[in-house]
Structure 1
């Protein structure tokens, strides 16, 4: 086993994903998920040596209790494992303009992450809780923050600014930041290898599609535009998030329909997207099962998801000029044959033609080109955000 293991933590508001990653090769030693925090049925599941286990956590457990369990009941039960840890790497959704690269966490960094909470209110406060719990559990290990927003700091002003009074950007930091940076970075490097091109000469459109979803235009290996905005709410249709809407809808619901501001924002964040359209679920697997049964809401949700994504992809021909490949990644991007087909059918004007057989085999972790030989290239690349976090953590520890 490697002596460059990193414990990677991704803390959400009610869950915590974790993995022990070999920074040298990306091998996943342990992975798991603690969920249903602050509820009676709080639980945790994990995988080690291909064996899956799960158990309940104490009622109403949260981040601290989950990390204590991970350390005491999982990590310490594997002889010699903890001694090989070199760092704890934390996925941080929003770093604003304070953080343009990964950093070792100290009090100043922790304070900066807290200050960015208004930009990602569902995420950053949970990250802070996770960091503090990990510092307590591993007081001698270096803690590293890896920011989703950092990769997008190469966007030009014409892409990241909103058409608002300029002082709102200069004085208040209101701008497009983008997320999923670690995923877009990973698939860019992998796409360059697959295309046999230097990454600094690679132009792709990366579609990270999951419960949260974003698409990024990547020119010469760098992000030049992306669909998420100041917060993760903008852009594509997502699991429970609405994506782009007319902002006047918010005023209309408050002034004319009697909604509170909190009620509207909760609706846009937690009750919209695939869930809101279908009336069924935010889980795309449930949506697809009902699509096959002819459920009208599920059919509309799938069609809207694919249509909105195709429109964004088409628009990114503008900043790129030349598209070497469209890359699908994330849970939906890696596994939904239907979505990939619908998106590329919507992009037929650009010459994209799906190869049905290739498309069907590119699921469950399998990468590959899914377009016909005479078509522009679209491919599937499974993402590995945890490895990016582990690599950055190892680099900072070495430095």
Structure 2
């Protein structure tokens, strides 16, 4: 595909640059830096910012939608069903172009397949699918949807259509590729390829680390940090069970930063059980969060044990960036543990519902500071050499 191509990105979560950022803002900035003409369609941050807005050299069509994040499953379902109609109306109003070279669409949400299909037919464009959530199976795994039910069948048809429409499908891991092939035998194998999660490098904290640790009462604790969504997929109840296994003299602190539908529940459990070594803070700007990570001892990944799909959490890239080892409490169906422990050699893993095994991994890291340093360095080298936005941009461009 030529330079200065016109690209339209269908986004679900696209914060305003430079106030905040995520992996998709990082990717679109890379496409912009490479000379492409970028349009992003995304939910409006607030009602005063509806319409076509230039955000750091990227044309963003902000659409008024129902709340999509941190709401109950019924509200989220209704919002996702309405989304394609809202997006299509906004695109007709604001995207005034005779050409469109490439449509990029991530999952979630799968409901935007109708918008992608309409754009693909109208402009004869290439459609590149970034496969992150495998829906509706992930909802089935979490007990939010019944397999074989009317809602499941509706979204399963959307999933089949999306795989058929996509010209290329970027998958997070080989486990993802194998899963799609096993459960969707009609998908052309040539479409599937590896597109690992990515993140732009954030400069390391250069200030007084001891002062920063003191600010957050880390003191002389072994600090295990978790940042991101606090929802059903993460099932942080498993982590509370691990925290309860440590005594005060062990000096182990679990530091959780984020928001989500399960946050109030987790906070209530901490209070009811009087768990002293778990602290929860609200979400922070990425740079501030990255600074805190840099003075933690270990980065935590937590996944619900009932997952049958191979999830690859993107938050591990922040830990790589900060040169700290990863502790993964994960389900048995993901290949994430193999990637972290055996391939990148940047951390350890244990089954998420086996509290004593997770504690053993923590004790291993606590007893081996030099091992932690080596794992942190391994993760950082993997990060800068393989999973920056530039690497993802090159993969996508080579495919299309």
- TM-score band, normalised by shorter chain: 0.3 to 0.5
**Please, what TM-score do these two structures have when normalized by structure 1?**
0.38
**Please, what TM-score do these two structures have when normalized by structure 2?**
0.38
